[in-house]
Structure 1
């Protein structure tokens, strides 16, 4: 294989990859991980061009800059992978500080042509590959599980090839900071071709990540309410069916809370629909902050919401409903013309395994309407008031709560 021919074809293909990834990153700007991938591809292309010109340009470009870009590109790739898998901002800056120190040290050593100085960049590259592979394996979760596993294998292969080339350089050449003499070495060229192959496969994995992310977004849009971000009614029904089956199988309790905003039509009529939308969004945000990870919150109607509480019996569910009621009562939603204040009524019901989740929903809905019938800013269930008072006293140290008992057949 001719070294020049290999680099010409490789640069041509990588240029196409870089342009494609860049276009996709611009078109899907909300997918931040693609921007990192586009940056990694651009830096990698610059590195490849300079590497192909080694011996024809000054060593500071053909060798030193190549090693620096080599390390920067893998860091950008790591950031892209991290965005898809972890989805949290990186609080620590030590990875970038460490890379900056490495680049600075290599910059000081290079002019003196110190033996094995290229390892200053090669070793961190291998380490970043190892960390990336570990992250892909550990944090790969549905729907990214398959692409994460494949990418972990590809990055591990990149790490192996990079380590092999570093050892090959140190053992076979007198000036490892320059590899011009290696251009005619078959082991060097074929290892370079292997690295190019895995880099190409990694581009395919990056596209796979994008497709998976877009599919995840579509699935999320299909199951959530676009205004509030809560689950929609269909998703709530699916969750209720799933949790009911689990409750029947393991004998765990299951409860549902139906929440309805008081006088919501009046709010829309007096303050406008924008105020109503803002109130709905604020309510969902506040209620979510009071729920557990396994709980489900859905918008089941215009101003009506449902909360599914796995592993929760009726009395604890009532306490949760009362906390929701109090939190919403204390809520002030900033809006033009003055803050918006709202209250809610909530009904609670526990699953009767002989009747199914639809019956639980009907009873919770009836309890909510019973609360509205007796006033506003109330919670209701079929439990007797003395039992509620004892439960609240044991838990909160006080027995007073805005509660009304639902009478059988009342709605």
Structure 2
């Protein structure tokens, strides 16, 4: 395959990937990284099209402008990968000053026909961006992107080596005597073919990162209760199964709490379903303030919830449940000019050696019903009614949950 055929094939591929990435970015506007990838491929498409017009329009456009667009394409690529693996706003704008200065100097060097040095100068920002991209990808800690990030870092590393090699060729004027264009030098040609191959692979990586993120978003939405933000039953079982197996392997404790809001039908009847929704959200927020990063709360029914607490024994879980019970009892939720008060009952258990996950959760549920039979507004463990010293009452001041409801 000669250079012209490779160039046309790459142009068509970039065009197709540009369309696909723009479509994906529009399908899920939350995936900001896909927009950067789409911008990168669009710039790459324009650059490649300009290079294909070499000999038909001035070289100022086919070479000088194309090389500057290449810098912008790599920078958009860097921002795209950074969004996926860092998820923090980019604030290091200061290091862009050297890049902008280089891009400003390059046209003058090109017009002065300093070809050997001008190519190396415009290559410097790309080399810097490649190194920054490799660093970001290699340091990422997201399990979802572990393998793609390492593979992409390897590809960008190959691109860095090839570009550096071409810069050295350009500076040392290593083209053979009598050759009128760089493409007649096999070293220049083969290094460019390697760069084209890496570019193909990076296009695939753009798509892979985007699809993985969109799949994770869909999975998250499918596993979360739309009203409260707690996990749903399906995601609870998936998470709890993983933590249950880990607890068996490490012999660490695992506790579960089944919770039910007492007489919640009264809340709906008195304040309407809007008030009930605000109350449910307020309760989940209260629980999330108390839980550790590995703990989860799931909504398993209308006003029924389950908490899974890895590494926590029964007594510690009972103390947590009692604190939640007391905090909810003292909480006042403002809704439509009125105050909503609630209480809760809870059943607490921990994993036993002979347990299955289903058996543990079923036991927590039975203990919950024992708490309700005991008069509600209490916590019951495997052995007894939990009695814990009540903390000093501190008024809870919360912001508005919605336009019509707030907590205090």
Instruction: Answer whether TM exceeds 0.5 for this pair.
Output: yes
Cα distance, 1:39 vs structure 2: 0.6
Matches within 5 A, 1:101-250: 101-108=98-105, 110-111=107-108, 113=112, 116-139=117-140, 141-172=142-173, 181-250=181-250
Mean CA deviation greater in 52-61 or 281-290: 52-61
TM-score with structure 1 length normalisation? 0.79
Q: Distance in 2 between matches of 1:103 and 1:51?
A: 22
- Partner residue, 1:84: 84
Matches within 5 A, 1:63-102: 63-86=63-86, 88-90=87-89, 92-94=90-92, 96-102=93-99
Answer yes or no: is the 8 Å Cα contact 2:318–2:386 preserved in 1.
no
Q: Distance in 2 between matches of 1:334 and 1:78?
A: 47
Answer yes or no: is the 8 Å Cα contact 2:345–2:378 preserved in 1.
yes
Mean CA deviation greater in 74-83 or 239-248: 239-248
Cα distance, 1:134 vs structure 2: 3.7
Cα distance, 1:120 vs structure 2: 4.2
Answer yes or no: is the 8 Å Cα contact 1:106–1:118 preserved in 2.
no
Q: Where in structure 1 are there 5+ consecutive unaligned residues?
A: 175-179, 399-411
Evaluate the alpha carbon distance shift between residue 216 and residue 190 of structure 1 in structure 2; reply closer, same or farther with a 3 A threshold: same
Q: Distance in 1 between matches of 2:333 and 2:286?
A: 11
- Partner residue, 2:13: 13
- Partner residue, 2:252: 252
Evaluate the alpha carbon distance shift between residue 97 and residue 338 of structure 1 in structure 2; reply closer, same or farther with a 3 A threshold: farther
Cα distance, 1:279 vs structure 2: 3.1
Q: Distance in 1 between matches of 2:261 and 2:183?
A: 74
Q: Distance in 2 between matches of 1:48 and 1:335?
A: 60
Answer yes or no: is the 8 Å Cα contact 1:64–1:107 preserved in 2.
no
- Partner residue, 1:293: 293
Matches within 5 A, 1:400-411: none
Answer yes or no: is the 8 Å Cα contact 2:106–2:122 preserved in 1.
no
Mean CA deviation greater in 60-69 or 70-79: 60-69
Cα distance, 1:272 vs structure 2: 2.9
- Partner residue, 1:348: 348
Evaluate the alpha carbon distance shift between residue 367 and residue 37 of structure 1 in structure 2; reply closer, same or farther with a 3 A threshold: same
Q: Where in structure 2 are there 5+ consecutive unaligned residues?
A: 393-408
Cα distance, 1:79 vs structure 2: 2.0
Answer yes or no: is the 8 Å Cα contact 1:39–1:73 preserved in 2.
yes
TM-score with structure 2 length normalisation? 0.80
- Partner residue, 1:40: 40
Evaluate the alpha carbon distance shift between residue 116 and residue 309 of structure 1 in structure 2; reply closer, same or farther with a 3 A threshold: same
Evaluate the alpha carbon distance shift between residue 195 and residue 335 of structure 1 in structure 2; reply closer, same or farther with a 3 A threshold: farther
SS at match of 1:274: helix
- Partner residue, 1:404: none
Answer yes or no: is the 8 Å Cα contact 1:132–1:155 preserved in 2.
yes
Q: Distance in 2 between matches of 1:223 and 1:30?
A: 18
Q: Encode CA deviations 1:264-296: one digit per residue, 9 max, x unaligned.
A: 222222333233333333432332232122223
Answer yes or no: is the 8 Å Cα contact 1:102–1:120 preserved in 2.
no
